Structure formats: structure tokens, C-alpha cells
Amino acid sequence: MTPLSPRKLITFDWAMKRLLRSKANFEILEGFLSELLGEDIFILEILESESNKESRRDKSNRVDLKVKNSKSEFIIIEVQFDRELDYLQRMLYGTSRVITEHQKEGKAYATLVKVISVNILYFDFGHGSDYIYHGTTTFMGIHDHDKLELDVRQQKQYGKIQINNIYPEYYLIRINNFNRIATTSLDEWIYFLKNEEIKDEFKAKGIQKAKKSFSLMSLSEKEQLAYARYQDDLRYQASLVESNYGLGRLEGKEEGRIEGKEEGRIEGKVEGIEQGKLEVAERLVAKGMSAEEAAAIAGIDVQLLRH
């Protein structure tokens, strides 16, 4: 295999665990959130969450980063690589938990905290063509089809103008659906999240500081060793290849049995195996491995990853 040049930037999820918790790097996270939410975000503090763990394989990990901004809103950010069919419920659980954790006993419901859930997903999720989805809560009239609004007294009580400003908001960033050049400042961040590359001409808030701070060469020797161990963990994922092959064979066999045709079984088997290989390769790329190396480990054509 042809020697590959080392990656120049660390992955965003590893940075969230190691670098972005430092106040010196708040500007980076503020930039990303400002571009995503469409307003200037200023971080007051990074709060402890159950995600402060070293191993990505720890299944108790529910929140990667929890932020409190200058408006006393809580923003939870999660990077997810592995497919979860119940991920929508997981998001709901995450926001609900933050709300209850920060509600003091005996306080009125009007003091419930506002939560924004940002989910960066590296797996195929749901059915839709866009790569960013935004979810809010609104109330529509069944008969008149009008939108319920807060009255003046409620606006003063809540300190909010719209009902959706009270309830949790959700952002779903479907990285696999981003297959274009960066045409907006937000696209520049999405481009980085997918390609682990920041171009010199990118001008999104905080992104050039990210390029400098996320440079492997800028890390201390201790941090470089920690990141090397993280990369070793990525190689561990290669052991899942055979498991995916087995799953592909079973799925192919079942598909063929249902169709009742030998050719259907064979075709299903082949497609299942190839899909298993592709999924493993995509997971490795999403976690920071180059397309060439991931394709070589999974045993597929690198062009399948680039399309």
C-alpha cells in the first residue's frame, strides 16, 4: 500500500473532548454555533456532562459537550458515528435531562431552561435530501389553522417572543448528505466536519482559529500521543469488518429465501456483503482515516467512498 501523508488536522469530536473545553478556544465553538444558529453566540462556560470519558465505545455516552451561553441557554452538542434507530428518542431524552437537571426544586415552570440540541451525524438518518434540519415546537389551530402566539403578559413572564423560543430546538446535521463545495459560511464548517480540511479562503466565524488550534503540529507531545492512541482506536474498528460480512451474508440469505429464488439469494448475499464493507469504510473515514486507507482495510474500491 502506498504510504499516506499524515492528516494535518485532528477530528472535531476529539477536539471537543480535549481542546474546546478550554476558554482559550471558546472562539472556535462560538464561531461554529453562531454560523449554525444564525446569531452571535457567546459562551459563558462549559458544563460537566456524562460524556467526559476517554473511550468512544462507552455506550453510556449521551452528551459530548454541554454549553451555557450569554442568554442562559443550554446547548448540547453530540457527534454520533454509529447508526441508532431510536436516535430521535435519544435527542428527546438528552434535552429533557438537561431541563430537569437545571430546574431548582420549588421554582415556577416559567424558569425552565431553554435547550438547543445540536447533533452531528455521520450515519444515514431518516429520509430526506437536505443535510441540515431544524426542529421547533409550534401550535396550530385545528379549525382556523392559525398559529398560537404568546400574549404580552406571557412574553414578559418568559422573556421570549415566540412559543417555539421556550421549547427545545433540535439541529440535525447529516454529514453524509453534504456533497458540495462550501458556498456559505455555514457550509465551510460542514465541509470541515466532513473532510477534516479548512481552506485558507474560508471566512466563517472561528474557522481559521480552528485550523490553527486543530493542527497536529500545534499539539504538545503528550496530546500528540493521546491522539495517536485515538487513531489506534480507529484501527480497532477494522475488526468489525468480518462481523459486517457475516451480517451481510445473513441479510442476503434472508432476502433470497423470501424471494424464493436462488438468484435472489446470491444477489442479496453479494449486496449485503458489499454494503457491510462500505459501511465499515464510511465509519473509518468519518472517524478521521483517509479514504484510501479505509478502502484498503475494508477491501473496496476507493471510488465508492468518493461517490
Do 266 and 122 sit in the same domain of this protein? no
Do 203 and 251 sit in the same domain of this protein? no
Cα distances (Å, whole numbers) of residue 39 to 20, 31, 33, 113, 209 = 20, 10, 8, 19, 19
Do 228 and 203 sit in the same domain of this protein? no
Strands (E), 51-93: 65-69, 74-80
Do 288 and 163 sit in the same domain of this protein? no
Do 101 and 129 sit in the same domain of this protein? yes
Domain final position from 218, 252, 278: 218
Instruction: Read off the pLDDT of residues 208-236 as tens digits, 9 standing for 90 and up.
Output: 999 999 988 888 888 888 888 876 775 66
Position 236 scores a pLDDT of 63
**Cα(159)–Cα(149) distance, integer angstroms:** 14
Residue 35's pLDDT band, with cuts at 50, 70 and 90, is very high
Do 164 and 187 sit in the same domain of this protein? yes
Mean pLDDT in residue range 57-81: 77
Position 264 scores a pLDDT of 54
Phi first, then psi, for residue 110 (nearest 5°) are -65, -15
Q: Is residue 267 part of a domain?
A: yes
Position 238 scores a pLDDT of 45
Q: What is the mean pLDDT of the chain?
A: 81
Do 84 and 172 sit in the same domain of this protein? yes
Domain final position from 186, 218, 250: 218
Asked if residue 54 has pLDDT above 60, the reply is no
The residue range of the domain holding 276 is 221-306
Mean pLDDT in residue range 275-300: 74
Does the global pTM surpass 0.85? no
| Residues contacting residue 214 through CB under 8 Å, at least 6 positions apart | 9, 10, 12, 15, 19, 198
**Cα(25)–Cα(223) distance, integer angstroms:** 16
Angle (CA) 31 32 36, round 5°: 115
Q: Is residue 4 part of a domain?
A: no
Contact in structure between 136 and 187 (CB atoms under 8 Å): no
Pairing between β-strand 74-80 and β-strand 115-121 as defined by DSSP bridges: parallel
**Cα(11)–Cα(154) distance, integer angstroms:** 43
Position 173 scores a pLDDT of 97
Q: Is residue 3 part of a domain?
A: no
| Residues contacting residue 177 through CB under 8 Å, at least 6 positions apart | 128, 129, 130, 131
Residue 242's pLDDT band, with cuts at 50, 70 and 90, is very low
**Position 134, amino acid:** H
Domain final position from 153, 188, 218: 218
Do 278 and 139 sit in the same domain of this protein? no
Position 57 scores a pLDDT of 44
